[in-house]
Chain A
Amino acid sequence: MIRESRGLGDELKKSVLLTPAVLVLILFFLIPIFLTVYYSFTNLALNGEGARNVQFIGLENYSRMMTDPNMINSIVTTLIFLVGSLIGQQILGFFIALMMKGKNSRFRSIIGPFFLAGWIMPEVVVALCSFAFFDRSGTLNAILQSINIPMVEWLYKYPLLSVIIANVWHGMAFSMINFQSALDNVPGDIEEAARVDGANYWQRLFYIIIPQIKNTIATNTMLNTLSTLGVFGLIYTMTGGGPGVATQVLPIFMYKQAFVSFQLGYGTAISMVLLVLGLIFSILYARIVED
């Protein structure tokens, strides 16, 4: 008994330095997560009945979500945005990293910044650059017209594609850097042996290089999924979710329900979808990292 209580006291004493971190995390991280769960079952609102008299309404927000065409649109839009961004960021990131490997270091240091620029910049600037790029009189159309291709109203005709490309421009470098450090750690001797045995470049790539960096591919996919699910500022400042609801991903739909329609309860129920998806991918990610 005495030993045990001393053990506990000792643990507590050793943990004193953790207190500020634990307090801040509980107050501003864990409590908001629990509140998200709680509010999603209420009619909380900024005006009307839900502001005067907050009530527990069970699954009402969730059943409303199931039949709300805007919700269904947002889920589909989010999925397209997610898959498009993942494919673009990772395939580009991988091939750029692969091509950069072993290249002249001066060449690498000259072109590196071009790929990093979109990543380093704040997302509002990324949105502005992308807006100006896809605008009807923007850079892309100016280039197309100079080679006699008729201009396209990108932001009206292909808004979702435009924000996907903007997000790829912004996020690609993260994948590229991850793949670069993974590729640097692939020992050259196995590849060399396979080359001697007559394996061609693509065989060596798919059977030797890629299997050796599959952990990086997995963690990178998880992290990109999580960050893409949370994208708000880039799309909000670039298209505002429009035209119409064409680029209204879940975070923007959540924002509009909560702060434009003042339906905090319903908005929170929408964030629950994000939170649950986020949790699933975070757990997958943590599993891979822990291994």
Chain B
Amino acid sequence: MRKFIKDGKLPYIILSIMALLFALPLLWVIFASFDVNATQAFKIPTDWTIGNYINVLQDKLNQQAFGVGLLISAIEAVLVVLIAGLAAYPLSRYELRYKKMFMYTILLMTSLPITAVMVPVYKLFLSMNLYDSIFGVIIFMTASALPFAIWLMKNFMDSVPIELEEAAWVDGANVLTSIRLVIAPLMLPGVLVVMMVAFTTAWGNFLVPYILLNTVSKYPVSVKLYQFFGQNGLVVYGELAAYSVIYATPAVILYILSQKYMSQGFIMSGAAKG
């Protein structure tokens, strides 16, 4: 038994079976998205087509939802990186009396379920004139992504050796210049990781736009997709599946990219020696 588990083929067999089981829920979306006659039922298409993809991509409202989704996620990701990057500097470089307390609060905030504050946020946004505003969605998502981003950025910045910055100070650089010219380039992999995580999280977020937006033309893909299959009328399943695949694609691509940069992020501490 022991030998079988440790050295034998058993783990390979179990892992392969598990992997297949994990792939099963994907089968319907993939097949249906290429099926001329897709229904709710699972079946391998008899007539293959890419028409579903073309129809989805040509639809004005779908394009709009994509545009809104991209806009929200991209601006949010940039804001998160800028604000967290600035905040990380004093936290990483200075002795501050409140630092420990601050970082502890940030850590607590990273894990609080945002769902719990959505009702008051809705009320707050009504009174601040931010309800049904794309900007409102962006700023709220920025706030909820900030704690984790600050935490990550500070850790990434800690690993940029301070000696490099001192050299810049000698040359007369001020704080912002040294962030821009010394720290940012060295932290680039880390910055990209934070940006991609922020983008993907915003891209996948359903709850926040669903609660804070009210105009169909302002809906990002997540809410649009839900409306697509949430409405009980006639559903074009093939297009629904194709739309889901298209919607998931940026998240998959960014994940693969972030893996690449993540591994680079851990190598950069060698810069002081070079």
A-side residues, CB < 8 A to B, are: 11, 14-18, 20-22, 24-25, 27-29, 31-33, 35-36, 39, 44, 92, 96, 99-100, 103, 107, 111, 114-118, 120-125, 128-133, 135, 137-143, 166, 169, 172, 200-201, 222-223, 226-227, 229-233, 236-237, 251, 254-255, 258-259, 264, 267-268, 271-272, 274-275, 278-279, 281-283, 285-286, 289-290
Contacts and interface: CB of A to CB of B under 8 A. Distances in A.
B108 A283 contact: yes
Given A27-B143, A267-B119, A132 B248 contact: no
B133 to A, nearest CB: 13
Given A122-B251, A133-B25, A278 B90 contact: no
Interface string B13-29: 01110111011111111
A21 B225 contact: no
A125 B244 contact: yes
A275 B108 CA distance: 12
Contacts of A286: 104, 107-108, 111
B113 A121 contact: no
B90 A18 contact: yes
A132 B117 CA distance: 31
B244 to A, nearest CB: 5
Contacts of B24: 133, 139-140, 143
A116 B19 contact: no
Interface in B239-262: 240-241, 244, 247-248, 251-252, 255
A93 to B, nearest CB: 11
B96 A274 contact: no
B114 interface: yes
**Secondary structure of the A contact surface, majority rule:** helix
B91 interface: yes
Contact of A32 (B124, B211, B248): B124
**Top-9 shortest CB links A-B:** A230-B113, A28-B143, A122-B204, A137-B41, A233-B206, A35-B120, A21-B87, A114-B19, A132-B28
B28 A133 contact: yes
A111 B96 contact: no
Contacts of B233: none
Given A36-B120, A143-B24, 13 more contacts: A29-B109, A36-B117, A107-B15, A124-B244, A132-B32, A137-B40, A166-B25, A226-B111, A254-B118, A255-B211, A264-B119, A271-B117, A271-B118
B170 interface: no
Interface string B102-126: 0010011101111111111111100
Contacts of B15: 96, 99-100, 103, 107, 111
Contact of A116 (B32, B91, B98, B255): B255
Nearest to A133: B25
A200 to B, nearest CB: 6
A274 B154 CA distance: 29
A138 B28 contact: yes
Interface in B212-252: 222, 225-226, 229-230, 240-241, 244, 247-248, 251-252
Interface of B: 1-2, 5-6, 11-12, 14-16, 18-20, 22-29, 32, 39-43, 82-84, 86-87, 89-91, 94, 96-98, 104, 107-109, 111-124, 139-140, 142-144, 146-147, 150, 175, 203-207, 210-211, 222, 225-226, 229-230, 240-241, 244, 247-248, 251-252, 255
A251 B117 CA distance: 10
Given A11-B97, A133-B24, A274-B115, A201 B2 contact: yes
Contact of A230 (B11, B116, B248): B116
29 contacts: A14-B96, A15-B90, A17-B175, A18-B87, A28-B121, A28-B142, A28-B143, A35-B117, A39-B120, A96-B15, A99-B14, A99-B15, A107-B12, A115-B19, A122-B247, A123-B204, A129-B26, A130-B25, A132-B32, A133-B24, A138-B40, A166-B25, A201-B1, A223-B111, A229-B115, A233-B210, A254-B116, A281-B111, A283-B108
Contact of A17 (B90, B123, B139): B90
Given A124-B206, A125-B225, A233-B207, A226 B143 contact: no
Q: Find the residue from B94, B108, B248 having the highest chain A CB count within 10 A.
A: B248
B84 A21 contact: yes
Nearest to B130: A28
A11 B96 contact: yes
A162 B116 CA distance: 24
Contacts of B122: 258-259, 264
